[in-house]
């Protein structure tokens, strides 16, 4: 699942629709496979544990940057509640089920790839890379390695670039990051922290003014993250993964993942903005 967004976008990874039950049934090959079972194949429980770690880490960064030494246990508790996995993961699974639908060919393709030895190995590499990037030093080292790989014309760099293109990772992640930033700033504005009413068009103008910097940051992060995650794979294994994303099942899954993440994590960004604004004003969080 290479559409993992960088932590700057975890203020997103990014429209509301009626929720489905987490046990929504998806029929494939005459058998019922619930979205929970699909989630097990795709190791969503492990992924969301890392997303929660990232969220808590992001909360600490917000406190340091915006209201140092004033958040304390109350802020930590608020961030923990916002990143409550018992709420977020079922919402994500329901949105994913709704977006994927009940097309047997699509479900078969997803389960066939991710249920394979290679698919499970790739999921493990992606999740562990995400966890490793919680360490700033590890992320910086991966950025250097990505630059060196590109300079040496490593064949896997071309495959990673193809994956970014096929899955539209750059533009979709830029859009999701900006969507998350809009939600975060909107939440802050609601608290009155700016000292005046800030209309949405002013917030949008501020976000759009940083579009190119966001695009540069996302591009650099993607090269580092994907290069780090897939370093243990052979060229043939990575080529097989790219081929999956080019398939109808991969394309459908890719689109569904972005919608599901947006639906779940945009409200997270809004809640974080509200909580941060209240903390900056010294109000009860």
DSSP codes, 96-134: HHHHHTT-HHHHHHHHHHHTSHHHHHHHHHHHHHHHHTT
Closest to 255 in 3D by CA, of 167, 164, 170: 167
DSSP 88: H
Q: Do residues 95 and 259 lie in contact, with contact meaning Cβ atoms separated by under 8 Å?
A: yes
In which band, very low, low, confident or very high, does the pLDDT at 24 lie, cut at 50, 70 and 90? Answer: very low
The average pLDDT across 4-9 equals 39
Give the contacts of 130 (CB within 8 A, at least 6 positions apart).
4, 47, 50, 54, 225
Res. 26: pLDDT tops 50 = no
- Mean of all residue pLDDT scores within the chain: 87
Determine the pLDDT at residue 35.
Answer: 62
What are the helix and strand counts (H, E) for the chain?
13, 2
pLDDT at 11: 30
- Would you call 101 helix, strand, or coil by DSSP? coil
Please state at what angle helix 248-280 crosses helix 104-114, rounded to 10 degrees: 80
Give the pLDDT of residue 39. Answer: 87
Q: What is the tens place of the pLDDT at every residue in 235-271?
A: 999 999 999 999 999 999 999 999 999 999 999 999 9
**What pLDDT is recorded for position 285?**
66
The predicted model gives 125-136 an average pLDDT of 97
**Would the pLDDT of 149 be above 50?**
yes
End-to-end CA distance of the chain: 35
For the chain, give the percent of residues with pLDDT over 70: 87
The pLDDT, as a whole number, for residue 34 is 53
* Average pLDDT estimate for 65-73: 92
Average pLDDT over residues 127-139: 97
Q: Above 50 in pLDDT, residue 3? A: no
- Identify the residue with better confidence: 75 or 108: 75
Q: Report the pLDDT value the prediction gives residue 36, as an integer from 0 to 100.
A: 65
In this prediction, residue 104 carries a pLDDT of 82
The pTM is what? Answer: 0.85
Tens-place pLDDT, residues 153-193: 999 999 999 999 999 999 999 999 999 999 999 999 999 99
What integer pLDDT is reported at residue 105 of this predicted model?
85
pLDDT at 225: 98
């Amino acid at each position: 699942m290479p559409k993992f967004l960088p932590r700057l976008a975890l203020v997103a990874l990014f429209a509301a629709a009626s929720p489905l039950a987490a046990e929504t049934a998806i029929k494939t090959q005459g058998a019922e496979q619930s979205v929970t079972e699909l989630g097990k194949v795709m190791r969503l429980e492990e992924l969301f544990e890392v997303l929660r770690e990232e969220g808590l880490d992001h909360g600490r960064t917000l406190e340091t940057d915006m209201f140092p030494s004033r958040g304390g246990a109350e802020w930590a508790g608020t961030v923990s509640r916002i990143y409550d996995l018992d709420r977020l993961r079922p919402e994500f699974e329901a949105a994913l089920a709704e977006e994927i639908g009940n097309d047997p060919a699509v479900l078969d393709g997803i389960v066939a790839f991710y249920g394979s030895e290679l698919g499970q190995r790739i999921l493990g590499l992606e999740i562990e890379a995400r966890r490793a990037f919680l360490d700033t030093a590890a992320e910086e080292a991966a950025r250097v390695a990505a630059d060196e790989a590109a300079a040496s014309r490593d064949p896997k760099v071309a495959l990673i670039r193809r994956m970014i293109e096929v899955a539209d990772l750059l533009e979709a992640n830029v859009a999701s990051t900006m969507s998350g930033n809009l939600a975060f700033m909107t939440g802050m504005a609601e608290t009155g922290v700016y000292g005046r009413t800030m209309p949405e068009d002013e917030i949008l103008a501020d976000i759009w003014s940083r579009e190119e910097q966001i695009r540069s940051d996302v591009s650099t992060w993607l090269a580092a993250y994907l290069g780090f995650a897939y370093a243990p794979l052979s060229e043939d294994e990575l080529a097989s993964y790219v081929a999956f994303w080019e398939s109808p099942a991969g394309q459908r899954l890719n689109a569904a993942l972005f919608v599901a993440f947006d639906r779940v994590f945009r409200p997270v960004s809004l809640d974080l903005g509200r909580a941060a604004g209240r903390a900056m004003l010294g109000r009860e969080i």
